[in-house]
Structure 1
C-alpha cells in the first residue's frame, strides 16, 4: 500500500514557566493508505501534539510531516478531525451541525440536507435531527460529532481519544459503530488512545509512544475482521498481544515519570 502520512524527524517543544519543554524529539512514523493505525501511550508522551501537527493545527519545531508526499502546512480538506472534546455549535441543531462542513464547502442546501440525513442515520441519530447539543447525552454528542466528521467523506480520519469520557458499555457500542462505518469507507485512520483494549479492538497496527514521542513498540494486529468489540477481547491472540503491548506501555510510563521528576 502507498504511504498517506509520513512523519520525518519531527521535533516540537513548548515554553512553560520560561522553560523549554521538549514534547516530540526526532519522531518518525509512516501510515499506509486505508489502514487503521492506533497510537497509544501515557499522558505526556506527545500523542495529541503529534496528531495536532498531522492535522495542520500546529507547526513543527523542526522536521516535516507529509500528506501523500506534500508537506502539511495547515488543515487539509482530505482530513477529518474528531477531538477529545465536543465541538458542536450550541446554537445549531444536530442536522445543522452535521451540515456545517458541507456549507463551508459551498454544497447546495438540498444536497447538504440529503447527505446530513444519510450520516445521521448511519450513526444512529435518526429522529434526533432537530435537537440542540445541550439536549443530547454524551454518547449522542459523540455520534453527532462522528457524523459531522464523516459527512464530507474524508480520505483520512484523525481521532483523539474520542470515546475516553464515555462509560464502558457506551464505549463498546461506539467502537462497533466506528468499525462498521470504517469497513464501508475504508478511510485511512490515525486514532489516539490511552486504552490498550480499545487500541487492539480497533487497529490494524498499534504504536506505543514513549518520552518525546519515541516509538517503544509497533505491532500489527492480526485479529480477523469484522470484529465485535465485546467478544474479540477473549481470543488468545488478543490476550497475547495485550500482554506484549502492556509491557511496552509500562516502559513508556516509567520513561514519562522519570522525565516529569527531572522537570
Structure 2
C-alpha cells in the first residue's frame, strides 16, 4: 500500500496482524531543510517538530512512542533482543517476538531491512549502511532470530527498503573492495565504482535460505526519488530521516 506519508511492502499484505511500513518525507510539520516528515531524533531539527511528526506517523497504526523500541544507530552490527519499548544506544538491528511492540530504524540513504518470521511471529528491523552490510548485519540478525525464536528461512518474509540506489552510491576503491564483485559496477563516464546496497543485503537473506519469492525489494531510491525520500548524500547531510517499523499487533 502506498500512502502519502508511508509505504507498506506488498509482500506483507496478507498478514493483517502485522504492522510493517517505511515513511516518506510527506505529511509532517518540519520546515526546510527537513521538509516535512522528519522522524529522526538525532537531527538538528526542532525536537518539538520531530516529536509531532512521529506522533502523527505512528498514529496511522494506533501506535505511540510507548510501543516502539529503537536505538541510537552507530553503523555497527550489534543486534538487540527487545522485550520492551524504549530507546537504547549502539544497536543497528532490533528483534522481538512481543505482540504489541514495534521495532524501528531510521535511514536517509542506508538500507532498512524488515523481516517477519510468520511461524514464530517474530520480527526484525535492521539499519544497514555500507559498513553494516559488509559486516553482515542481516546475517547476524537472522542467526540471532534463529537462536532466540527458532526462526527458519522457510518461514520468513523480508523487505529490503528504500535507500541510495545502485546508480548513485559512488564509493572509493577501498570500500568497493569489501563488496562482492557482482554487486559493484564501474561508471563508464567517470570511472568511479558504484555499489548496489539493496542486492548486497538481499544476498544475505538468500544465503540464509530465503528465496526471491520471499524477498520484496523497494523500487524506490532516496536519490532518484528525493522529492519523496530524504537523502543524506544528495542533500549534503542537511536533511531529515525516514523511519521503518515492524511489529505484530
**Please, what TM-score do these two structures have when normalized by structure 1?**
0.32
Q: Tell me the TM-score normalised to structure 2 length.
A: 0.34
Q: Which has the higher helix share?
A: 1
Higher gyration radius (CA): 1
